[in-house]
């Protein structure tokens, strides 16, 4: 029977302890990502696809972009190593790249339907996508321009509405005054008038405007002297006003 030396046993035991101590207790988790990144004109980011990295898949996120003046910056950085990754980044409509600060695994940039598409892939490395871009002013300000047009049209509608209401008010006021004149003349002022004087007053009411004495002669088929005499009688009674214009006299109803 082979008897082992105590020192040899101790040496073997010590070597086993050393070997065990150098063995990893656990393996770190391997992260991966196969993602599509889409950014809209307002800076909202959608990240879709497959990944086991925590909180990488998001929708309508504002965490990855910020704007300074007219320059946007997109920053998607993962501080853990990914065993493998592949990405496709779609920038907003009519965006132009201003500066590429970091783009790991970069493969290509292409344009597709007015959008810049950036693709990349890598293994056993951190993922870092930091891109500065600018949106064409005419496109970025299109919504502002549309809002100004809508505000102008809305203001125009308000002004036209106010003018229309004012016009209706004035029309009603004019009709009311006209009716008042007619009512006062017909119920009060025609009392004690001769037939010719009544005809002259009714003619002025009907036409609702100033008439020359010649117009009155023609409309009522009366002699010039008769018109002149009756008009002056009406003026004395306070029913009409006479205004001399050149060789003619304008006759109008006097407001009561």
DSSP H or E segment with residue 118: strand 115-135
CA–CA distance, 36 with 24 (Å, rounded to integer)? 35
Q: In this predicted model, what pLDDT tens digit does every residue of 109-164 receive, in sequence order?
A: 999 888 999 999 999 999 999 999 999 865 445 556 677 888 888 899 999 999 98
Which residue shows structure tokens 């004149």?
181
Do residues 96 and 44 make contact, with C-beta atoms less than 8 angstroms apart?
no
- Confidence label for 190 from pLDDT (cuts 50, 70 and 90): confident
- The runs of H, that is alpha helices, within the chain are 6-21, 137-140, 142-184, 195-207, 213-220, 224-236
What is the structure's pLDDT at 150?
85
Q: Which of 42-51, 198-207, 235-244 has the highest mean pLDDT?
A: 42-51
Nearest to 92 by CA among 150, 144, 131, 51: 131
Decide which of 72 and 137 is more confident: 72
Parallel, antiparallel or unpaired: strands 211-212 and 248-253: antiparallel
CA–CA distance, 236 with 252 (Å, rounded to integer)? 13
Give the tokens for residue 3.
């008897």
Give the tokens for residue 77.
């950085």
Which residue shows structure tokens 């907003």?
92
* Three-class DSSP category at 90: strand
CA distances from 175 to 25, 37, 148, 171, 239 (A): 101, 70, 40, 6, 19
Give the tokens for residue 80.
């853990």
The domains of the chain are located at: 31-137, 148-253
Q: What percent of the chain has pLDDT over 70?
A: 81
What is the structure's pLDDT at 177?
60
Q: Which CATH class is domain 148-253?
A: mainly alpha
CA–CA distance, 108 with 175 (Å, rounded to integer)? 79
Q: Which CATH class is domain 31-137?
A: mainly beta
Q: What percent of the chain has pLDDT over 90?
A: 47
Q: In terms of C-beta density within 10 A (0-12 exposed, 13-18 middle, 19 or more buried), how is residue 19 classed?
A: exposed
DSSP H or E segment with residue 66: strand 65-68
């Amino acid at each position: 029977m082979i008897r082992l030396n105590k020192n040899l046993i101790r040496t073997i035991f010590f070597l086993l302890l050393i070997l065990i101590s150098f063995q990893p207790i656990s393996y770190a988790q391997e992260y991966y990502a196969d993602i599509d990144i889409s950014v809209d004109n307002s800076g909202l980011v959608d990240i879709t696809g497959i990944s086991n990295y925590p909180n990488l898949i998001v929708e309508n996120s504002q965490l990855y972009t910020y704007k300074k003046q007219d320059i946007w910056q997109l920053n998607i950085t993962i501080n853990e190593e990914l065993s493998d990754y592949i990405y496709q980044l779609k920038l907003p409509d009519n965006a132009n790249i201003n500066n590429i600060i970091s783009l790991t695994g970069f493969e290509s940039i292409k344009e597709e339907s007015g959008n810049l598409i950036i693709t990349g892939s890598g293994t056993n490395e951190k993922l870092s996508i930091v891109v500065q871009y600018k949106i064409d002013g005419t496109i970025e300000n299109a919504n502002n321009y549309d809002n100004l047009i809508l505000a102008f049209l809305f203001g125009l509608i308000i002004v036209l509405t106010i003018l229309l209401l004012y016009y209706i008010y004035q029309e009603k006021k004019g009709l009311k005054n006209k009716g008042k004149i007619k009512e006062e003349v017909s119920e009060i002022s025609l009392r004690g008038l001769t037939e010719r004087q009544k005809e002259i007053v009714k003619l002025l009411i009907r036409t609702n405007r100033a008439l020359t004495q010649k117009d009155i002669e023609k409309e009522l088929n009366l002699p010039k002297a008769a018109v002149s005499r009756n008009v002056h009688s009406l003026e004395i009674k306070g029913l009409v006003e006479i205004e001399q214009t050149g060789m003619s006299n304008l006759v109008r109803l006097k407001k009561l």
